[in-house]
Chain A
Amino acid sequence: MSWMAWTLPTAIFFGAIGFSLLVLTLWELKSPTILRKGLLPIATTRGDRFFISLLSAAFIHLLWLGLVDAPVYPATAVSVLVAAGLLKWG
């Protein structure tokens, strides 16, 4: 695996995504998702909202890195809030 050039932060990052997918799978088995329309202009399933949250988080971080010369923790905090909001009301 050394050819993949792992680092601890990226391992934690991928581990978190893998863990989230596992939780979503178990959640799905326990309580299957329903296609519904919330704040987003499209009807979404739980998986859709998770995907939108991840994509949003990526672009929030890119915006922060491109425009602000400061550590990314505020962007991460905003991303978590956006993700929580999207999963709940999206």
Chain B
Amino acid sequence: MSYKPQNNRAWLGVLPVLLIVAFSAVVPLMTVINYSVQDILDFNTRFFVGFEWYVQTLNDERFIEAFGRQLAFSFTVLALEIPLGIAVARGIPKNSRLTPLILIVLALPLLIPWNVVGTIWQIFARSDIGLLGVAINAMGISYNYTSEPLHAWLTLVAMDVWHWTSLVALLAFAGLTAIPQPYYQAAELDGASSWQVLRYVELPRLRGVLIIAVLLRLMDSFMIYTEPFVLTGGGPGNTTTFLSQYLATMAVGQFDLGPAAAFSVIYFLFILLFCWLFYQSVVKRDEETP
């Protein structure tokens, strides 16, 4: 017996969304793909070059290095922000008069524009006048993020963790408040430790919000541009130049629209692949869980 949906008219309700997505995503993506196979001299003078820009990009050392840095950065901040966000969310009292205040304070970094976050950290981490930079140097540790690649990386990671852990914490807190109290009471009766409550009661029920948190942070960190641009400008040298910054230099700085379009398509395909693989792995594990 074949299954047929009850009411296909419901699909008409999706039409407005399809139109918006077509205009905001599909048509621009198609245009970028069109650009990626042409040498654009100006908007009226262009030549078909086939896959030339793809070959050039895939063999470009700076692209490969920026890609490696991007992966390292994204997975580092994910590895820090997700556990830290869960830990912070677990520490927020659920039914206290202080709860709204804590949530507002946590949301503050999320309200600051990205370029302002970069500027705050640029000043905060300076070794001559910044509180963080001066404090670290006063402890006898030589720290200068403008000349030392490792220091620049640590500062960037710290800045991102400061900026975005709140998002994970707020999402995780929303998930935690949705867990019914009897689960905790049953765990308490069984003498479960705090770790066991986290492992067997909270984490399985946080899966939904954590999927959203990881996907948002993975995509966001993979597209990061403004903060490193303001904080380090991609330096020292190219050590903190990520994909988006290299792409912007190519497209806006040098007006190499063809190579920049090929770069964008490759960049997009990798983001699509990572998100799809991650989503599938989580959904699969979700289905396997009894």
Contacts and interface: CB of A to CB of B under 8 A. Distances in A.
A7 B48 contact: yes
Contacts of A42: 280, 284
A65 B276 CA distance: 23
Nearest to B47: A7
Contacts of A69: 55
Nearest to A32: B3
A14 B27 CA distance: 11
A9 B49 CA distance: 11
A87 to B, nearest CB: 17
Contacts of A62: 54, 58, 266, 269
B258 to A, nearest CB: 10
Give the dominant DSSP class at A's interface.
helix
Interface SS of chain B: helix
Contacts of A61: 51
A10 B273 contact: no
Given A59-B273, A62-B266, A5 B58 contact: no
Interface string B1-13: 0111100000000
Contacts, number: 58
A13 B48 CA distance: 15
Interface residues of A, number: 24
A34 B38 CA distance: 41
Contacts of B273: 55, 59
Given A10-B34, A62-B266, 19 more contacts: A3-B31, A4-B31, A5-B34, A5-B40, A6-B34, A7-B38, A9-B37, A9-B48, A14-B30, A31-B2, A32-B2, A32-B3, A42-B280, A59-B269, A62-B269, A65-B54, A66-B58, A66-B59, A69-B55
Interface of B: 2-5, 27, 30-31, 33-35, 37-38, 40, 43, 46, 48, 50-51, 54-55, 58-59, 266, 269, 272-273, 276, 280, 284, 287
Nearest first, the 10 closest Cβ-Cβ pairs linking A and B are A66-B58, A5-B34, A4-B31, A65-B54, A10-B34, A65-B55, A7-B48, A58-B269, A65-B51, A32-B3
